[in-house]
Chains A and B, each alone.
Chain A
Amino acid sequence: MRALVAAPHEGTLRHLSDLLVRRHNLLVLILLMPPLLWLGMVYLGSLFVFLGQSIFSIDEFAGTIVRKPTLATLAELFHPANFDILIRTVSIAAAVTLLCAIIGFPMAYYAARYAGPRAKAAFYLAVMMPLWSSYLVKIYGWKLLLAKEGAIGWIAGRLGLGPALEAWLALPLVGGPSLSVSYTGMVLVFTYLWLPFMILPMHAALERVPNSLIEAAGDLGASPGRTFRTIILPLALPGVVAGAIFTFSLTLGDYIVPQIIGTSALVLGQAVYTLQGTAGNIPLAAAFSLVPILVMALFLTLAKKTGAFDAL
């Protein structure tokens, strides 16, 4: 046994060790310094520099940034063309969130209430794998599926649903020349990408619904449907809200998916991308970037009231 026990250090190292044990705050400070310097200085600094430019404006003729505080750039967000972009993006994010909740709920509910330990492990793996697999590859998979000559069209044709698909694509707003250039395609891809982010918090919330409450409701004469509406759903709501935080914010900021699948009308991310790039209008890009941040801050404040953070 002796060989296993290392001899205590002597001298300066021991003194240093004693100092760190006795002065715990010093230890915390030393540990915290490097990551804080990195994120506080490099990251937060650049964030403020960028977003701060939303109070500057651009000189229309010279194309240079006028470093004089003004609210004109922020007001530009409310011009019809820009405001349309905001409304469009928020609507898409809302549709994606709703669809994620509808598709994800039965999955989370089944795993939380009926799955045994082995099935539960399989459930985690089945949700984690798509969550962590490559974002671009997942989009690519959908490009293959949604293409006019792709699998969805072929399967619909085989099942005799070709006319139904045509009719859907002929609809205004959700339709388009093919699924890959329609809002339907874009919302489907977003839903697919962010679904695991919705399932996991919902599952966590449903797991915490005590069985005794459900049994008590049954004992007191509630039908299964009523138990579901009055006990399970309200208790699962914080999980849904927690999931919605992810699905909503991830959709608001994305500009890759709309570039590959969807209509030619811009969404917020694309607007920011073109403004900072070819248009060279950093102030307006910064103003646009403030929108998802503000929307999410508002969302988070409301979510905090429902107790969504315990479900994360």
Chain B
Amino acid sequence: MTRAPLSLKLAALAGFAFLHIPLLFILLYAFTTEERSYAFPPPGYTLKWFAVVWERADIWAAVGLSLRVATLATLIALVLGTLAAGALARAKFFGREPISLLFVLPIALPGIVTGIALRQAFGLMEIPFSFWTIVLGHATFCIVVVYNNAVARLRRLSPSLIEASMDLGADAFQTFRLVVLPNVGTALLAGSMLAFALSFDEVIVTTFTAGQQSTLPIWMLSELIRPRQRPVTNVVAVLVIAVTFLPILAAYYLTREGEAVAGSGK
């Protein structure tokens, strides 16, 4: 293999810089002493804003709500997405294509369309906006993430493993518990983590399905539109990066190791 031309290397490097440098600036701003503007370079550095955020009950309430919503939405998506993947991974029947399209639809359509549609439906059914309507909205678009991960793994799982298990006398439930589940477990975990990160961060659908509740992204959005507490927002942004960073990293390693699924070479 020949070496890459210098111009290509530089162009690729510039692209990666473009992709990563903006997030570094947020880290820098969390320590700035400047309160009223986004002045660069920061006139001084301080840790006091972390202490201020620590004391803020409203921010912690928003974090708590976001965590609870994300957990519940992920659980629902995990169950429904796995069921769907189990049904569609190897099945061939009439209507399979439109059904898989239906699972992708909530993430393929603009969030605002999904959001307003759900809001209208809740209004029509006279369901008051609450914690549960947020969860319902989030679960709808999280299903596809779990589904995608599970389908990819199930397709790599050799059907002969399942046949062997049944030939050896295991029934369908035992085969599921002892053969299928251990092989797809990491893919389900990875899908759940991505679903969690997606839900924790979601703002558009939440705008329409939340009542008075304020999730963390909703709180941040209001600060973005009308900045009132810039230093506090800087610190919250750093916290959000930290919270979403870990599940994403974990999901990446879980699916990588999963490439060596038992029987996939056959």
Contacts and interface: CB of A to CB of B under 8 A. Distances in A.
Interface in A253-277: 253-256, 259-260, 269, 272-273, 276
Interface in B201-238: 201, 203-204, 217, 220-221, 224-225, 233, 237
A142 interface: yes
- The interface centre, meaning the residue of A38, A136, A272 with most chain B CB atoms within 10 A of its CB, is A136
Interface stretch (B46-54, B67-75, B107-115, B181-189): B107-115
Interface in A282-300: 282, 285, 289, 292-293, 296
A244 interface: no
A45 to B, nearest CB: 7
B45 interface: no
A128 B220 CA distance: 23
A260 B23 contact: no
A43 B40 contact: no
Contacts of A192: 18-19, 22
A136 B245 contact: no
B265 interface: no
Nearest to A154: B40
Given A31-B84, A114-B3, A133-B248, A39 B40 contact: no
A129 B22 CA distance: 13
Given A32-B99, A106-B15, A136-B203, 14 more contacts: A34-B80, A35-B81, A42-B118, A111-B12, A114-B1, A135-B217, A137-B237, A140-B224, A141-B26, A143-B38, A144-B29, A149-B38, A192-B19, A272-B112
Nearest to A128: B252
Contacts of A46: 117-118, 120-121
B116 A276 contact: yes
Interface pairs A-B: 9 shortest CB-CB: A253-B110, A46-B121, A106-B11, A17-B171, A31-B87, A141-B22, A50-B117, A110-B12, A147-B38
B81 A144 contact: no
A6 interface: yes
Contacts of B248: 128-129, 132-133
Contacts, number: 253
B120 A133 contact: no
Nearest to A245: B108
Contact of A127 (B19, B41, B113): B19
A255 B115 CA distance: 12
Given A139-B224, A140-B220, A143-B224, A292 B39 contact: no
Given A17-B173, A136-B221, A260-B224, A292 B113 contact: yes
7 contacts: A18-B171, A21-B166, A27-B87, A125-B249, A136-B217, A137-B26, A149-B37
B164 interface: no
Contacts of A135: 201, 203, 217
A13 B9 CA distance: 61
A192 to B, nearest CB: 7
Contact of B12 (A44, A106, A249): A106
Contacts of A121: 256
Interface residues of A, number: 90
Interface in B95-125: 99, 102-103, 105-106, 108-114, 116-121, 124
A121 B249 CA distance: 12
B16 A126 contact: yes
A42 B11 CA distance: 46
B168 to A, nearest CB: 8
A181 to B, nearest CB: 13
B178 interface: yes
Interface size class of B (residues with CB under 8 A): 35 or more
Interface string A176-190: 000000000000000
A96 B40 CA distance: 27
Contact of B117 (A49, A104, A113, A252): A49
A9 interface: yes
B13 to A, nearest CB: 9
Contacts of A212: none
A53 B121 CA distance: 12
B194 interface: yes
A103 interface: yes
Contact of A51 (B20, B117, B147): B117
A162 interface: no
Contacts of B169: 8
Contacts of B79: 34
A145 interface: yes
- The interface centre, meaning the residue of B38, B147, B204 with most chain A CB atoms within 10 A of its CB, is B38
B222 to A, nearest CB: 11
A176 to B, nearest CB: 17
